């Protein structure tokens, strides 16, 4: 278990470094930053001045190491546009996105896992068909369309919930549904397949042979084993949701990290974009690492391995 | 009254192209404390028969019987809840695959005590004590420590012992052991069989032993039923069956294994030619006739049951009836 | 698991009969017609493709022709609608139906070309990893892990902004980003093929590596590859719509559906149809492609169905 955790940790850390290299080079290789910052009307002298001011005249590797060293201390430099430190921008916006992501994940799990389990238990029946149809329809409905639809129905017509912003808890309801929806089909399919596989195992027959009730067999003996892969998927989906929150935040004008990135991209604010990519990737990497370890803890067979 | 009565048990499995008649018209009865061995090749329907008694058949499999009764309780009309009260409590089962029959996510102790606590109102510590006691009974050392172990930490032989202990938790009157030794090493096989035989004597349970190994049968069974292609072709007390096998299939089986006093030293062992017939669609007459040296055209008609002795029954037109009985 | 094996490993269980052998295409067609979801998806998709290709012929108006006198005309089912503009007009008076038809061209183009690029990258990586195994495989799984760690929408947005937001830009960015599932699927499919006897036979008679890959491995991983390609096409179309919706994908005046939704957003409170129409088109197209993909998986690899 320790060896497994360590090996997994080494992979996680090196992936994080690779991502940092990609995030850095992606933005630096794709054009002349100084020209982009200075704007189209700047003279050659102004561009040169900016280049020197931001250290853009130094070798790329030196710039990267500087940036990485800063990033390791949570110092991502200063934003070109917001005239504020990137770190403070992120720490101000991240909680909004994390809250949104957590509620969305909870919503999608609450819908998808029971639905998947029911579909597996009642395999081939109307319940199963409805669940699968729901899944296929869900996959085809883009987050932003659902978001706009929710606004029209619940915020504009019914006036139950606010249209946009992130001032109160009511602001989180519709965006969380829109974002959580995105993960429902994948989680449902996995719960259903996991459950189907577990239900065909010999130990389920043993449990029935003991005289246990179907409810007890399903909830105690089957669910525990079927849920193990769902844990890993939930972590992955949470990471995807943080990345995908950019769309939802744009639809609902929530000032989270996604919205920040969107504004920054539109304004060539590279330090912010780099930092957001790195932060989101690091959260994803941490989550998948924790999920793998949690998986190992849930599955006694993996503990000794 | 017999502990278990099975009369004309039929098991049908709907498949894409028709119905597979997996078991057709199996009848037998079992007294308290008696050991019945059911022998047959894989696919002969012996495992399905045992699952049918426990009502553990998969949903799509259909079961019918003229009578299926446990201790006078009609199992074909019993409610699901009533069946649950019997299952694991008064009748228990040991499965073929000890490696996969235990839940990997729970400890041995949890799975053992659960078998008792779901039927009896007993304290956790009492259930634990019983689990330790039975683990010792099935020959597991350091039983108390095993309770906190997970199935993957035990060998196949140990797991099968745990499965046996689990079946014994409620002190059942009937134990069905479905090829309990098939998945185990040869050296372990004998130990497990002796264990089942010893426990059977000690607790006075009735045992149905499903096996394809006639050698096993000779040692532990009181009665033997030979299954072929979904029907019971011969039932007899173990001694009678080995001395005077009446059905050509039984004789073929016995020719395939060395039996002291029967096999000629140095002579080659026999083999049964041909293959088990396809059981899909309507079946008429003797299912063994395509492999039988004695078969004639009349074998395609329904075959009556012949009883050379009161407790010996055989379904064959050309059964070899010993002269003493005839 | 994979296709090539099904002829030899049709279940040995006595409960199953070997399926009757039929010509592959005939068998595919008969199964396809028996699969409701596939049939529905394929019909819908065929309809959309035909309409998109025939857009110049069937579109009632020029999708770019503005008519400020007839702005925001509602669709024909609305009391104020009229048959001149069946689906109404947008804020610049452009015919919505015509824009929708030309928009289908954009979605299909982006879906197809993206999948060609990402499919090529992913398949090369996946087949190499599956074929060579060992260290090559370890490197690939590292690359895939890294790729998965990058937030797709964000990186796509940032890169699209950098290479210049345009149709070509979106295609290139998505093509370079969406290869991960191709790599994962072709890798495991290749591993399964590698375990089979005909590969051993091919290498025993001295076939070269490229020849084994091209003539033995590729044909045998084609089925799962086509399934992934279909599902990834839907993925690419959805992402393009999202990028365009955020203003960093396809640029005006091109009639991308995502862009149409973004442009309609400010009018949606009073005229919900401006976003409902392109959104429905998007949902229908993605649904059709997903149904075809799921159907193909069920038909070609019944043991993989969920």
Distance CA C220, CA B45 (A): 38
Band of residue A109 on the pLDDT scale cut at 50, 70, 90:
very high
Contact between residue B21 and residue B279 where contact means Cβ atoms under 8 Å apart: yes
Give the best residue of A18, A29, A145 to mutate against chain C (max C CB count within 10 A).
A145
**Local structure of C230: helix, strand or coil:** helix
Strand-pairing partners, residue B30, are: B4
Check pLDDT > 50 for residue A19. Answer: yes
Check pLDDT > 80 for residue C79. Answer: no
What are C97-120's pLDDT values in tens digits? 889 999 999 999 999 999 999 999
ipTM of the complex: 0.86
C26 to chain A, closest Cα gap in Å = 27
Asked if A284 is an interface residue toward chain C (Cβ–Cβ < 8 A), one would say: yes
Share of chain A above pLDDT 70, in %: 95
Residue range A28-43: average pLDDT? 69
Residue range A284-292: average pLDDT? 89
Where does residue B324 rank: exposed (0-12), middle (13-18), buried (19+ CB within 10 A)? exposed
Which residues 256-275 in chain A show a CB within 8 A of chain C? 258, 261-262, 265-266, 268, 273
**Local structure of B208: helix, strand or coil:** strand
**Mean pLDDT, all residues of chain C:** 82
The position carrying tokens 């010509």 is C23
Q: How many residues does chain B have?
A: 326
* Structure confidence at residue C25 (pLDDT): 66
Question: Could you tell me the two tokens for A170?
Answer: 């009511």
* Structure confidence at residue A107 (pLDDT): 92
* Structure confidence at residue B14 (pLDDT): 87
* Structure confidence at residue B325 (pLDDT): 46
The position carrying tokens 């008694």 is B53
Check pLDDT > 50 for residue C1. Answer: no
- Range name among A99-108, A145-154, B275-284, C231-240 with the lowest pLDDT average: B275-284
Distance CA C124, CA C225 (A): 12
Give the best residue of A17, A140, A238, A274 to mutate against chain C (max C CB count within 10 A).
A140
Instruction: List residues in chain C touching B: CB distance below 8 A.
Output: 14-17
Distance CA C43, CA B49 (A): 48
Residue range C240-259: average pLDDT? 88
B199 to chain A, closest Cα gap in Å = 19
Question: Could you tell me the two tokens for B160?
Answer: 């099968």
* Structure confidence at residue C14 (pLDDT): 36
Residue range A50-66: average pLDDT? 79
Contact between residue B24 and residue B283 where contact means Cβ atoms under 8 Å apart: yes
CA A153 to chain centre: 26
Phi-psi region of B25 (alpha: psi -120 to 50; beta: other; left: phi over 0): left
What are A196-247's pLDDT values in tens digits? 999 988 999 999 999 898 899 998 899 888 888 888 888 888 888 888 888 9
Residue range A10-27: average pLDDT? 87
Distance CA C281, CA A167 (A): 34
Which one is predicted more confidently, A77 or C189? C189
Quick check: B88 and A210 CB within 8 A?
yes
* Structure confidence at residue C24 (pLDDT): 62
Check pLDDT > 60 for residue A128. Answer: yes
Asked if B15 is an interface residue toward chain C (Cβ–Cβ < 8 A), one would say: yes
Strand bridging mode B67-70 / B35-39:
unpaired
B276 contact residues in C (CB cutoff 8 A): 14
Which one is predicted more confidently, A292 or B265? A292
Contact between residue C291 and residue C32 where contact means Cβ atoms under 8 Å apart: no
Respond yes or no on whether the N-terminal peptide bond of residue C253 is cis (omega within 30° of 0): yes
* Structure confidence at residue C306 (pLDDT): 40
What are C149-204's pLDDT values in tens digits? 888 888 888 888 877 778 888 899 899 999 999 999 999 889 888 888 888 888 88
Which one is predicted more confidently, C232 or B182? C232
Which one is predicted more confidently, B143 or A29? B143
Q: What is the pLDDT along chain B (326 residues), one digit of tens a residue?
A: 789 999 999 999 888 778 888 888 899 999 998 999 999 888 788 889 999 999 998 888 899 899 999 998 999 899 999 999 999 899 999 988 888 899 988 999 999 999 999 898 999 999 999 999 999 888 888 888 999 999 988 988 889 889 999 998 998 999 999 888 877 777 878 888 888 888 888 888 999 999 887 877 877 889 999 998 888 899 999 888 888 888 888 888 888 777 666 667 777 777 777 777 777 776 778 888 888 888 888 888 888 888 888 888 888 888 877 655 44
Distance CA C64, CA C67 (A): 10
* Closest alpha carbon to A282 in A299, A300, A257, A304: A257
To which H or E segment does residue C284 belong?
A: helix C273-300
* Structure confidence at residue C161 (pLDDT): 80
Band of residue C32 on the pLDDT scale cut at 50, 70, 90:
low
C163 to chain A, closest Cα gap in Å = 7
Residue range C273-288: average pLDDT? 90
Distance CA A157, CA C268 (A): 11
The position carrying tokens 């020197």 is A52
- Range name among C61-70, C163-172, C248-257 with the lowest pLDDT average: C61-70
* Structure confidence at residue A30 (pLDDT): 59
Kindly give, in sequence order, each residue whose CB lies less than 8 Å from that of residue B140, ignoring residues fewer than 6 positions away: B146, B158, B161, B162, B165
Quick check: A31 and C162 CB within 8 A?
yes
CA B276 to chain centre: 20
* Structure confidence at residue C20 (pLDDT): 42
* Structure confidence at residue B119 (pLDDT): 92
* Structure confidence at residue C9 (pLDDT): 36
Tell me the C-alpha to C-alpha distance, in Å, between residue C6 and each of B279, C15, C18. 24, 17, 10
Quick check: A261 and C291 CB within 8 A?
no
């Amino acid at each position: 278990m320790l060896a497994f955790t360590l090996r997994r940790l080494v992979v996680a850390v090196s992936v994080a470094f690779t991502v940092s290299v990609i995030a850095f080079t992606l933005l630096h290789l794709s054009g002349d930053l100084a020209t982009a910052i200075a704007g189209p009307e700047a003279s050659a002298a102004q561009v040169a001045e900016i280049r020197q001011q931001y250290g853009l005249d130094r070798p790329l590797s030196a710039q990267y190491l500087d940036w990485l060293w800063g990033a390791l201390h949570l110092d991502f430099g200063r934003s070109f546009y917001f005239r504020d430190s990137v770190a403070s921008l992120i720490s101000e916006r991240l909680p909004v996105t994390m809250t949104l992501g957590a509620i969305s994940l909870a919503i999608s799990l609450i819908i998808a896992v029971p639905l998947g389990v029911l579909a597996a238990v009642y395999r081939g029946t109307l319940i199963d068909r409805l669940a699968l149809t729901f899944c296929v329809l869900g996959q085809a409905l883009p987050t932003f369309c659902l978001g706009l639809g929710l606004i029209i129905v619940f915020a504009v017509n019914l006036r139950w919930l606010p249209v946009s912003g992130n001032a109160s808890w009511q602001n989180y309801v519709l965006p969380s549904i829109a974002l959580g929806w995105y993960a429902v089909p994948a989680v449902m399919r996995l719960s259903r397949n996991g459950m189907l596989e577990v239900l065909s195992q010999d130990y389920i027959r043993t449990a029935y042979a003991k005289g246990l009730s179907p409810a007890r067999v399903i909830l105690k003996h089957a669910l525990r084993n079927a849920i193990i892969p769902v844990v890993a998927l939930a972590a992955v989906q949470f990471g995807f949701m943080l990345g995908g929150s950019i769309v939802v935040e744009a639809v609902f004008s929530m000032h989270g990290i996604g919205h920040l990135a969107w504004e920054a991209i539109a304004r060539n604010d590279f330090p912010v974009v780099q930092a957001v990519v790195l932060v989101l990737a690091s959260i994803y990497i941490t989550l998948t690492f924790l999920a793998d370890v949690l998986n190992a803890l849930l599955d006694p067979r993996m503990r000794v391995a | 009254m017999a502990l278990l009565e099975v009369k004309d048990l039929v098991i049908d499995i709907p498949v894409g192209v028709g119905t597979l008649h997996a078991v057709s018209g199996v009848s037998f009865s079992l007294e308290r404390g008696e050991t019945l061995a059911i022998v047959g090749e894989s696919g002969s329907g012996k495992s399905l028969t045992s699952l049918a008694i426990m009502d553990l058949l998969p949903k799509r499999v259909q079961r019918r019987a003229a009578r299926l009764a446990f201790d006078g309780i009609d199992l074909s009309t019993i409610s699901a809840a009533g069946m649950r009260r019997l299952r694991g409590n008064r009748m228990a089962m040991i499965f073929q695959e000890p490696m996969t029959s235990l839940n990997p996510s729970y400890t041995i102790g949890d799975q053992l005590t659960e078998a008792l606590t779901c039927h009896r109102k007993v304290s956790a510590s009492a259930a634990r004590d019983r689990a330790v006691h039975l683990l010792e009974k099935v020959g597991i050392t350091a039983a108390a420590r095993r309770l906190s172990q997970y199935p993957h930490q035990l060998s196949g032989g140990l797991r099968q012992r745990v499965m046996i202990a689990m079946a014994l938790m409620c002190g059942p009157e009937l134990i069905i052991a479905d090829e309990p030794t098939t998945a185990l090493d040869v050296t372990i096989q004998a130990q497990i069989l002796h264990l089942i035989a010893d426990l059977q004597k000690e607790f006075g349970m009735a045992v149905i032993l499903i096996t394809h190994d006639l050698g096993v049968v000779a040692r532990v069974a009181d009665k033997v039923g030979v299954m072929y292609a979904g029907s019971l072709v011969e039932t007899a007390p173990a001694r009678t069956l080995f001395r005077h096998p009446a059905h050509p299939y039984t004789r073929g089986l016995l020719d395939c294994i060395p039996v002291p006093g029967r096999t000629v030293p140095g002579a080659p062992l026999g083999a049964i030619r041909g293959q088990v017939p396809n059981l899909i669609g309507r079946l008429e007459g003797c299912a063994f006739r395509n492999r039988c040296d004695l078969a004639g055209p009349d074998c395609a008609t329904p075959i009556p049951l012949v009883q050379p002795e009161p407790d010996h029954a055989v379904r064959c037109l050309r059964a070899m009836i010993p002269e003493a009985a005839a | 698991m994979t296709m090539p094996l099904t002829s030899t490993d049709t279940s040995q269980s006595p409960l199953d009969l070997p399926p009757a052998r039929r010509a592959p295409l005939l068998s595919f067609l008969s199964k396809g017609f028996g699969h409701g979801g596939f049939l529905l998806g394929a019909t819908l998709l065929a309809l959309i493709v035909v309409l998109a290709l025939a857009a110049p012929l069937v579109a009632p108006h020029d999708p770019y022709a503005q008519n400020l006198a007839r702005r925001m005309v509602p669709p024909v089912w609305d009391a104020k609608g009229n048959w001149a503009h069946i689906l109404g007009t947008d804020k610049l008076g452009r015919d919505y139906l015509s824009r929708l038809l030309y928009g289908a061209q954009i979605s299909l183009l982006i879906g197809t070309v993206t999948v060609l690029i990402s499919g090529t990258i992913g398949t090369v990586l996946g087949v190499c990893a599956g074929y060579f195994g060992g260290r090559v495989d370890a490197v690939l799984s590292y690359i895939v892990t890294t790729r998965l760690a990058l937030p797709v929408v964000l990186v796509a947005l940032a890169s699209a902004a950098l290479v210049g937001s345009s149709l070509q830009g979106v295609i290139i960015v998505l093509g370079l980003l969406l290869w991960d599932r191709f790599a994962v699927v072709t890798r495991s499919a290749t591993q399964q093929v590698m375990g089979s006897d005909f590969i051993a036979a091919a290498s025993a008679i001295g076939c070269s590596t490229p020849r084994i890959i091209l003539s033995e491995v590729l044909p045998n991983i084609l089925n799962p590859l086509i399934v992934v390609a279909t599902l990834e096409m839907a993925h690419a179309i959805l992402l393009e719509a999202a990028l365009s919706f955020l203003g960093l994908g396809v640029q005006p005046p091109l009639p991308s559906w995502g862009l149409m939704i973004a442009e309609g957003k400010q009018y949606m409170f009073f005229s919900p149809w401006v976003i409902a129409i392109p959104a429905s088109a998007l949902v229908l197209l993605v649904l059709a492609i997903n149904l075809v993909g799921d159907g193909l998986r069920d038909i070609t690899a019944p043991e993989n169905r969920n």
